Structure 1
Amino acid sequence: MEETLSMLKMNAGKPDLGYHHVSLSASKHKQIIQTQHNIGRFKESFILSHKLNTTRVASAISDQSVVDPDPTSPQHSLPNALNAFYRFSRPHTVIGTALSIVSVSFLAVQKLSDLSPLFFIGVLEAIVAAFFMNIYIVGLNQLYDIDIDKVNKPYLPLASGEYSVKTGIIIVSLSAFMSFGLGWIVGSVPLFWALFIGFLLGTAYSVNIPMLRWKRFAFVAAMCILVVRAIVVQIAFYLHIQTFVYGRLAVFPKPVIFATGIISFFSVVISMFKDIPDIVGDKIFGIQSFTVRLGQKRVFWICILLLEVAYVVAILVGASSPFLWSRCITVLGHAILGLLLWGRAKSTDLESKTAITSFYMFIWQLFYVEYLLIPLVR
C-alpha cells in the first residue's frame, strides 16, 4: 500500500506525456478535418458563385442582343427620327392650323349636298399645303433661335443637337418648296395668297437681317401672328372653298366675321403668352417681348382678361342667333369655357415655369375647342 502511494506521489509530480500526447494529437486531427471541411465548402461555394455569375453575364449578353439599346440601329432609328420631327414641327401649331382650315371651310357649306368629294378634296389640299408652310415658319424660327432655345426650349432638335443646322435648312427649304408647289398645282388664288402671306410674315418674323427679325419688337410680333392666324387663315381658306371649290361669289356671312373677331383675341393672347415662360432667354438675347417689358404676372392677367372679354362677346353673338339650337350651344359652350379659364388661371403658380407652360398649352386647347364651336354660330 505504501509502495503504491509512493508511486502515485512520484507520478503526480511528473507530466503524463503519453496521455497528453494522445489527447493533443486527437485535437489537431479534429482541427485538420474541420479545416479541410471548411475548404471544401468554400470551394463548392466559389464554384457555385462562379457558375451563377457566368450565367448572369451570359443572360445579360443575351438580353442585350435582343433589346439592342443602340439608338442608331434600324430598330430605333425610325421612331427616333419621327419623334425628332414631331418636336421640330411644333405639333400644337400644326393641329391648330388643321382645325382652323376645317372649321372655316365648313362655314362655306350651305346645304347637305355641298359635302361632296370635291369639298373634301379642296379641304385636304388646303391642309397639306398649309402643313408644309407651317413647318417652314416654325422651322425657320428654330434655325435663328438655336442659342435662345438652348435656354428656353432645350428639348427642340436643333437646340439639343439632334438636328444639325444643315438638316434644319434642308427640312425648311423642302417644306417651303412643297407648300408653294402644291399651291401652284391646285391653282386656287386664295390658297396661294394664304401661303405667300404666311411665308412673307413668317420670314420677316424670324430672319436676323437688317429691318427684319420682327419678333424682337413686341407689338410687331403680335401683329404678325394676328394677321396670319386671325385674318389670312379665316378669310383666305374660307374663300378657297367658297370661290374656288364651289365657284360662288365672295360674300362674308356672320359666322366668318365672328370667327375673324374671336380668333383675333386668341391670336393676340397666344402671341403674348408664348413669351411668358421664355423670359430668361429673351432677356439674355435682347428680345423685347411684352413679358420682358411688363413682367410675367401682368402679361398673364392681361391675357386672361382678353380671353374673358372674347367669351363675353361670343355669348352675346350666340344669344342673337335666330336658331334655338345655335343659341343654346354657343352661349352655354362659351360660358363653360370662360369659367374653366378663370378657375385654371386662379390656381396657376406663376413662379413655376412648368405650370406656366402647361397653362399655355391649355390656351391652345381652348383655341381648338373654339374652332369646333365656330361652325355652330349661325
Structure 2
Amino acid sequence: MENNTIIKTSLDPRSTFDKYEKRPLINAVTTESYEPKPQAHNSKIIIESIIHGFDNFRKFSRFYAFMGLVAGSFFSSLLAVDNLSQLFPTFFNGYLQYIVPHFFMHLYIVGLNQLADLEIDKINKPYLPLAYGEFSFTNGVITVASFLFLSFGSAWMIGSKPSLWSLLVTFVLMTAYSINLPFLRWKKSTTLTVMAHAIGMTTSFNIAAFMHMKTFVLKKATTYPRSLFLATVVMAIFFAVVAMAKVFWFCVSLLEIAYGAAILIGASSPFLWSKLFTT
C-alpha cells in the first residue's frame, strides 16, 4: 500500500506538470532581475553631480538678491530713453553691457560675505555651500577673486565709464562692509551699514545705470531728470530700511517718508499721466 502510494504520486501527471512548470517561473524571476548597466549607471552619476553642482552654485550666488539689481537698473536705464525706436536693439544690447559686469560683482560680494561670515553661517545658515563644506575655503577664495577679475575685466573691455566707477564704488563699500580687518567690517556699525548700502545700491541700481545708457549707449549729453532724482531718493531710503530691518518701527517710518516723498514729487509733475501714476 505504501509502495503504491509512492508510485501513484510519481506518475501523477499533475505533479509532473507542477514540478516542471514552477521551475521556469523561479528562473524567470532570478534571471530577469534588473541591474543597471555600468554605462547607464555612470551617466546617471554624472547627471546627478552636474545638478548638485548647479544647486550649490545657486545657493552660493543668492540669485534672489541679484533680481533687485536687474529690476532697478533696468527701469533706471529706461529713464534715459526718449523714444521707442531706441529700444530695439540699442537699449537691450546696452543694458546687457551694464548688467553682465555687475552680475560678476554681485557674485564677488555674496562670496566675500560668506567667506567673512563662515563661522557665523555654520550656525545661522548651514545650508550655504561654504558653511556646509561643499566648497573649501581655498576654493571659495579662488572663486571670489575670479569673479572680481571678471567683473572689472568685462567692464574694461566694454569701455563704459559709468559702469566702471559704479563697480569701483560698490567694490570699495561692500568690501569694507564684509571683510574683518582693522577699521573695516562696517556691518558692526549701524551707521556705516546704512551708508554703505544706501550709497552702493543707489549708485549701481539708479545713477550709474542711467548714466551708462544716456552717455555711453545713446551718446547723449549728461542730464539729471526729476524722475532719476525721485528714484534715487526713494531707493536710498528703501535700502536704508533693508540695512536696518531689525529696528522694525523705525524702518516703517522711513518707508512712509519714502512713499510720501514719491507722492509729493509725483503730484508736482507737470504731466498729468505722471502725476496720476506716481501718486
Bin of the TM-score, shorter chain as denominator length: 0.7 to 0.9
The higher radius of gyration belongs to 1
Cα deviation for residue 116 of structure 1 reads 4.0
Cα distance in 2 between the residues matched to 1:192 and 1:89: 22
Give deviations 1:241-274, integer Å, cap 9, x for gaps.
111112222110001000100001111011112x
Are 1:199 and 2:147 matched, yes or no?
no
Alignment of 1:1-378 (within 5 A): 62=35, 73-273=45-245, 276=246, 299-331=247-279
Cα distance in 2 between the residues matched to 1:77 and 1:92: 23
Cα deviation for residue 127 of structure 1 reads 0.5
Cα distance in 2 between the residues matched to 1:87 and 1:301: 31
C-alpha contact (below 8 Å) 2:73/2:204 kept by paired residues: no
Cα distance in 2 between the residues matched to 1:91 and 1:153: 16
Cα deviation for residue 55 of structure 1 reads 5.7
C-alpha contact (below 8 Å) 2:237/2:255 kept by paired residues: yes
Cα distance in 2 between the residues matched to 1:195 and 1:72: 41
Cα distance in 2 between the residues matched to 1:72 and 1:158: 26
* CA separation of 1:63 and 1:255: change in aligned 2, threshold 3 A: same
Q: What's the Cα RMSD here?
A: 2.8
The match for 2:14 is none
Amino acid at match of 1:150: K
C-alpha contact (below 8 Å) 2:108/2:145 kept by paired residues: yes
Identical residues among aligned pairs (%)? 42
Deviates more, 1:256-265 or 1:230-239: 230-239
**Stretches (4+) displaced over 3 A:** 61-68
Q: Equivalent residue of 1:73, what SS?
A: helix
- Structure 2 unaligned regions, length at least 5: 1-21
Amino acid at match of 2:270: P
- Structure 1 unaligned regions, length at least 5: 1-46, 277-298, 332-378
Aligned length: 258
Cα distance in 2 between the residues matched to 1:164 and 1:213: 22
* CA separation of 1:148 and 1:247: change in aligned 2, threshold 3 A: same
Relative contact order, CA 8 A, sep 6+: which one is greater?
Answer: 2
Give deviations 1:72-124, integer Å, cap 9, x for gaps.
92021111111111111111221111112111110101122222423221110
Q: Equivalent residue of 1:110, what SS?
A: coil
